[in-house]
Amino acid sequence: MIGTGRPLFVLFGSSIVQFSYGRDGWGAILADVYARKADILLRGYAGWNSRHALEVLHQVFPKDAVVQPSLVIVYFGGNDSMEPNPSGLGPHVPLPEFVENMKKIALHLKGLSDKTCVMFLSAPPVNEEQIVQTIGVRGRSNEACRVYSEACIRLCKELDVKGIDLWTALQQRDDWKTACFTDGIHLSSEGSKLVAKEILKGLREAEWKPSLYWRSLPTEFGEESVYDPISQDGRSNISIAQLEFSRSVQWE
């Protein structure tokens, strides 16, 4: 841990999380939006399901850590929802076990500290035809994603965890099948923008004290300085700590 004690956010999940710093991903968007406000750590593990996550939960989030996160954003469910293999191998996790695994994950994370808040992302939709065309595999269905997504959101309401319904949110866009994915599963830059928008909306609406919404957090070393760029009249400095001119999207 370095610096002046900014809030710590952790992104924990499968490939949707691991790949979120690439392709203009939603993790990179959050890191940009929260620059000088919070530190964001990536703990993404492609191919994982909730069962695998539960096995290492205490290693990734030890209860005796000196610094505990202010926020953990969790995503599992897409791999869990895949069709079961007769051999018993593979990522499929039956729905009741998935719900129980996610409940255990939520309770562990909420117990890390009084300040730790938890947000779950539900399974997003998939484009089944694109998966077959680009990856050449079957076993994922949009209907199964819906079932696991709805179960996740119900659990969030039960446990008072902030839930983001990605299955519904992405399909609000008419061209979601062609615009939101790189391969029918993983998010394109457009898909990531939608995810980031929903996360920021959820953070804005959450009734957490203190608020973790980016506009509510102080900017580190945000005070004006004589070292800031000089204005055109040459008589004052221009503080650039709060400027957002480098962003192609103005986030709310």
Pairing of strands 117-121, 71-75: parallel
Q: What is the distance, to the nearest Å, from the Cα of residue 95 to the centroid of all Cα atoms in its chain?
A: 22
Per-residue pLDDT of the chain (252 residues; tens, 9 = 90+): 566 689 999 999 999 999 999 979 999 999 999 999 999 999 999 999 999 999 999 999 999 999 999 999 999 999 999 999 999 899 999 999 999 999 999 999 999 999 999 999 999 999 999 999 999 888 999 999 999 999 999 999 999 999 999 999 999 999 999 999 999 999 999 999 999 999 999 999 999 999 999 999 998 887 777 777 888 887 887 777 666 655 667 777
Contact 45, 55 (CB under 8 A): no
- Give the residue extent of every domain in the chain: 8-216
Question: Which is catalytic among the residues 20, 70, 186, 192?
Answer: 186
Q: Pick the catalytic residue: 141, 183, 189, 239?
A: 183
pLDDT at 235: 82
State residue 223's pLDDT score: 76
Residue 211 is predicted with a pLDDT of 97
Q: What is the pLDDT of residue 231?
A: 80
Tokens coding 216: 């509510």
Cβ neighbours of residue 224 closer than 8 Å, sequence gap 6 or more: 237, 239
For residues 90 and 34, what is the distance between their CA atoms, to the nearest angstrom? 36
Catalytic annotation on 108? Answer: no
For the sheet containing 71-75, what is the strand order? 39-44, 8-13, 71-75, 117-121, 162-164
- Quote the pLDDT of residue 230: 82
pLDDT of residue 137: 85
Which CA distances in Å does 219 have to 33, 36, 38, 100, 115? 11, 5, 9, 39, 20
- Is 14 assigned a catalytic role? yes
8-216 topology per CATH: Rossmann fold (3.40.50)
Question: Residues 67-86: pLDDT tens digits?
Answer: 999 999 999 999 999 999 99
How far is 185 from 85, CA to CA, in rounded Å?
Answer: 19
Q: Which residues pair with 109 in a beta bridge?
A: none
Query: 58 catalytic, yes or no?
Result: no
Residues whose CB falls within 8 Å of the CB of residue 75, separated by 6 or more in sequence, listed in order: 11, 12, 13, 14, 16, 17, 120, 121
Give the whole-angstrom CA distance, residue 167 versus residue 178.
15
